[in-house]
Structure 1
Amino acid sequence: MSPRPRIGLDLITILDAAGEIADQKGMYEVTLANLAKKLGIRPPSLYNHFDGLPGLRKKLAIHGIDRLYEVMADAAIGVSGTEAVLAISKAYVNFARKHPGIYEATLYAPDPEDEDVQQAGAKIVDLSVRVLQAYQLEGDFALHAVRGLRSILHGFSALEQKGGFKMTLDLDESLSIILKAFLAGIGEER
């Protein structure tokens, strides 16, 4: 019989602490030892919530994907068309800016083919497809467009995080121009 989890120490509290470590120090510093130290517990206590470091990374990836979905879904409320695409895109990039480690964790699932990870990610895909419906995209082409949008957003976020944009141009304006060009392109391809 497994020992009971410590009172007041639930999975969300643990994942929030792991996310803070990731945001402040990077994903490689999210270890069981560092997390236990931050929480003021012994590392074996973490095994009550997940199976070792791979289990922690999986749960943190899903937690990050869920949080990213929430900010994107909130941004989509009350807007449509180009405005909706720009809103969810800005929410995505701002999430990566505010939570670089948690964002990185969304890419760090030990097994990206894991059903739980796939279900979490499917919500973002579904939201993106719904937002892009204003462009009358159907079937596989809609999914290709979602891949393109994700590639733009991830590439932009990764380059920004690595200091790839040294010019004094407004980054949000650059993002908006890129996205409008992308949307014009998918409109032409229909």
Structure 2
Amino acid sequence: MPRVGLTPERVVAGAEELADEVGLPAMTLAALAARLGVKLPSLYKHVSGMEALQREISLRAMTELGQVMSRAAAGKAGDAAVIALMAAARQWIKQHPGRYATTVRAASATDEQAVAVSEEALSVLMDVLAGYGLSGKDAVDGARAVRSVLHGFSTLEIAGGFGMPVDVDRSYDLLVQALCRSLGSWGSATPA
């Protein structure tokens, strides 16, 4: 019988917090059980294992990140939308590094729920890129560029990868401005 008060929701919430504190690779079911004050077998009444738990974290994280980006970009267009969306996402990633780590891998095409959640978050970015006149393959390329800049900078920042004595925010702002200029001419660019 499941412990009173322990629910799948509470297990996932505890796992999210733990992942953010110790990092996704260091999060174990044993550590989660200890955090929740239960024995390890009790967790299996609420989640089938680490893979299922990470999937649940990913679904919630992708939904939350999509909402954060949507709120940030609301009422904005072009550079202002990209700058706001990326700033909000960067802040969320810094606050939730463990949760974010579950969102990096593309959803499996056979997981309809994960695909739907991923597409919902991606639609926010695609709407912003449409403000640059990007559609089809150009929009996909633009989305990959935005995601790569955001992911690369944020994960390096979280890992302490910027040790030089120059303001990290200055470097970030310059990078985002360069990306915005690039997006402005993206559709006319032809890959070699």
TM-score, length basis structure 1: 0.87
Aligned residues: 186
Partner of 1:30: 27
Kept after mapping to 1: 8 A contact 2:73/2:85: yes
CA-CA distance at 1:7 after TM superposition: 4.5
Partner of 1:119: 116
- Structure 1 residue 90 and structure 2 residue 87: aligned? yes
Rounded Cα–Cα distance in structure 2 between residues aligned with 1:72 and 1:129: 11
- Structure 1 residue 181 and structure 2 residue 178: aligned? yes
Rounded Cα–Cα distance in structure 1 between residues aligned with 2:6 and 2:128: 37
Partner of 2:190: none
CA-CA distance at 1:135 after TM superposition: 0.3
Partner of 1:68: 65
Q: Which runs of 5+ in 2 are unaligned?
A: 188-192
- The 1:70–1:7 alpha-carbon spacing in structure 2 relative to 1, beyond 3 Å, is farther
Rounded Cα–Cα distance in structure 1 between residues aligned with 2:4 and 2:176: 47
CA-CA distance at 1:189 after TM superposition: 3.0
- The 1:148–1:173 alpha-carbon spacing in structure 2 relative to 1, beyond 3 Å, is same
Rounded Cα–Cα distance in structure 2 between residues aligned with 1:119 and 1:9: 28
Rounded Cα–Cα distance in structure 1 between residues aligned with 2:161 and 2:27: 25
Partner of 1:156: 153
Partner of 1:79: 76
Partner of 1:135: 132
Q: CA RMSD in A?
A: 2.1
CA-CA distance at 1:105 after TM superposition: 2.5
CA-CA distance at 1:48 after TM superposition: 3.0
Kept after mapping to 1: 8 A contact 2:65/2:92: yes
Q: Which runs of 5+ in 1 are unaligned?
A: none
**Aligned amino acid, residue 130 of structure 2:** Q
Per the alignment, in what secondary structure is the counterpart of residue 89 of structure 2?
A: helix
Per the alignment, in what secondary structure is the counterpart of residue 152 of structure 2?
A: helix
After superposition, what is the alpha-carbon deviation per residue over 1:140-160, rounded to whole angstroms, capped at 9, x for unaligned? Answer: 111110011000000001111
Rounded Cα–Cα distance in structure 2 between residues aligned with 1:151 and 1:173: 18
After superposition, what is the alpha-carbon deviation per residue over 1:64-113, rounded to whole angstroms, capped at 9, x for unaligned? Answer: 2222122212212232221111111011111121111211232368x744
Give % identity.
36
- The 1:137–1:106 alpha-carbon spacing in structure 2 relative to 1, beyond 3 Å, is same
Kept after mapping to 1: 8 A contact 2:90/2:154: yes
**Aligned amino acid, residue 159 of structure 2:** K
TM-score, length basis structure 2: 0.86
